[in-house]
Amino acid sequence: MSDVGLDEVLDWFFRVSEIPRTSGNEKTISDTLRDHYERKGLDVLQDEAWNLLIRKPAHAGQGDRPGLILQAHLDMVGEKTSESCHDFATDPIQIVRDGDVLHAQDTALGADDGIGVAICLALLDSEDVHHPDLEILLTTQEETGLVGAKALTGVSLRGQYFLNIDGEREGVFLCSGAGGSTVEVSFPLAEASHTDNVWELRVRDLRGGHSGLDIDKGRINGIAAVAVLLVKIPDIRVAFFNAPGKFNAINREVHLVFSTQCDFSVAYEEWWKSIAAAEPDASASLARMGPAACQSSSWTRRLLEFLASADPGVREMSSSLVGVVETSSNLGLVEQDELEMKITASVRSSSARGRHDVETQLEKLAAQSGGRVQISGSYPAWEYQTENPLREQAAQIYSDLFHKAPLITGVHGGLECGVLHEKYPELPMLALGPSIADAHTPRESVSIPSIEKLLQLVLATVERIK
Ligand SMILES: [Zn+2]
């Protein structure tokens, strides 16, 4: 038996949960851990983003094995119920044990990624695990755009394998992740003129969802759906177009005012029938309005052609990992002010080429339609590593321990592995985690047996990897 067991991991998880650590608020936890391990005589580096790198030399006789980097993120998402008085700046997370499950009292639990952190810290305390040289990398502000990992400069990693512990399902080996960017396309408004035959169209309560994780679920994007209808209406002129939402969520709601001299009732009925069949909870309303100031029909045509060709959804599936989306795009929101109409889209791909292709296509479409493009918030992909001795050895260890194979897959969302993969493209990487449900919500919970299995796998990997 080793001196790192479930009790030691849960003990660290409870201690970490005592210290407030929402994204951007990690200084105290970072300083506390820095001081703790400096007192123990370990080599601790803390950078300006409060990332920590703690080095622990190999256990006696293990120094010639390849060094292992374990990584988790210190921050958590500060979500709470509407009744909760919890102050994330000062209050400890109140953990509740309910049978085999941990959750928190009215807040997110922070098992994402507090369990990963706790496993790393328990390993640092160990005196009898036969580990090679260990580097424990604890990053900050992961949840708000991989900020800590991106800021990680001046630290160079020495290990030969990189194990991230920020997955959300036990038994799942994540082996690739998407990179992405935000694409804003602005159409400067031209002079508007008053016209009659004005209509107001509202669409509400589409299912929406995460622009990465839910993009392959066949959900209807409100902005694209409305564009498909409007582009068929002759001499249409838009007065107002607003589609609230988030850049990284599938659009659920559209509010539009436009004029046309044509009867489009048949096209509208057919269009709505096809949407309602796919989205039973959605609703739409169409109402006559008084005269309104509308953009010209040529201006409107250019806007609609852009929206109707932007083609949000899955573009390409992975050729290496079955059922994993390789490249996708999303239309998130449309905002209008006195000067312009701005469309915010996002692009994701687990290959640099895939992301570049979609960005270029959107730039071309926008240029043809007279839109101005700005690309921001880029983060790199973790491309699938065909040769990956860490994945292969860990999969064998998993099969030996649990008598079944792990699920080897990828995620169509951003992981810190992408940022590190860009800096260390040759470093074999793998991401693992316990089974967490409802992460980033006050219902977040983690399965205790899954923590135990994850720990067994991590310990066996640490002891056997060569
Ligand atoms: Zn996480």
Q: How far is the CA of 349 from the centre of ligand 1 (A)?
A: 19
Residue 302 Cα to ligand 1 midpoint, Å, equals: 41
CATH 3.30.70.360 domain span(s) along the chain: 192-338
Ligand 1: distance of its center to the CA of 434 in Å? Answer: 11
Q: How far is the CA of 278 from the centre of ligand 1 (A)?
A: 32
Q: How far is the CA of 190 from the centre of ligand 1 (A)?
A: 45
Mean of the per-residue pLDDT values for the chain? Answer: 96
- 282 CA to centre of ligand 1 in angstroms: 32
Compute, in angstroms, the gap from residue 142 CA to the centroid of ligand 1. Answer: 7
Q: Please tell me the distance from the alpha carbon of residue 363 to that of residue 104, in angstroms, as a whole number.
A: 45
**Centre of ligand 1 from the C-alpha of residue 243, in Å:** 29
pLDDT score, position 246: 87
Residue range(s) in the chain whose domain bears CATH number 3.40.630.10: 6-178+382-464
Tell me the CA–centroid distance for residue 277 and ligand 1, in Å: 36
- Per residue in 317-336, pLDDT (tens digit) is 999 999 999 999 999 999 99
Distance 166 CA to ligand 1 centre (A): 5
For the chain, 466 residues long, give each residue's pLDDT as a single digit of tens.
689 999 999 999 999 999 999 999 999 999 999 999 999 999 999 999 999 999 999 999 999 999 999 999 999 999 999 899 999 999 999 999 999 999 999 999 999 999 999 999 999 999 999 999 999 999 999 998 899 999 997 788 999 999 999 999 999 999 999 999 999 999 999 999 999 999 999 999 999 988 998 999 999 999 999 999 999 999 999 999 999 998 888 999 999 999 999 999 999 999 999 999 999 999 999 999 999 999 999 999 999 999 999 999 999 999 999 999 999 999 999 999 999 999 999 999 999 999 999 999 999 999 999 999 999 999 999 999 999 999 999 999 999 999 999 999 999 999 999 999 999 999 999 999 999 999 988 999 999 999 999 999 999 999 999 9
Query: Tokens 């031209």, residue?
Result: 190
pLDDT in tens, 275-322: 999 999 999 999 999 999 999 999 999 999 999 999 999 999 999 999
Q: Return the CATH architecture of domain 6-178+382-464.
A: 3-Layer(aba) Sandwich (3.40)
In the reported structure, the alpha carbon of residue 431 is separated from the centroid of ligand 1 by a whole-number distance in angstroms of 11
Q: What class does CATH assign to 192-338?
A: alpha beta
Distance in Å, CA 111 to ligand 1 centroid: 8
Distance 234 CA to ligand 1 centre (A): 49
Q: How far does residue 114's CA lie from ligand 1's centre (Å)?
A: 9
pLDDT of residue 153: 78
425 CA distance to ligand 1 centroid (A)? Answer: 22
Would the pTM of this model clear 0.85, i.e. be above it?
A: yes
What spacing in Å lies between the alpha carbon of 339 and ligand 1's midpoint? 39
Rounded to the nearest angstrom, the distance between the alpha carbon of 76 and the centre of ligand 1 is: 7
Radius of gyration of the chain (CA): 25
**pLDDT score for 1:** 64
Residue 345 CA to ligand 1 centre (angstroms): 24
From ligand 1's centre to the CA of 260, what distance in Å? 49
Q: Alpha-carbon distance 322 to 339, whole Å?
A: 46
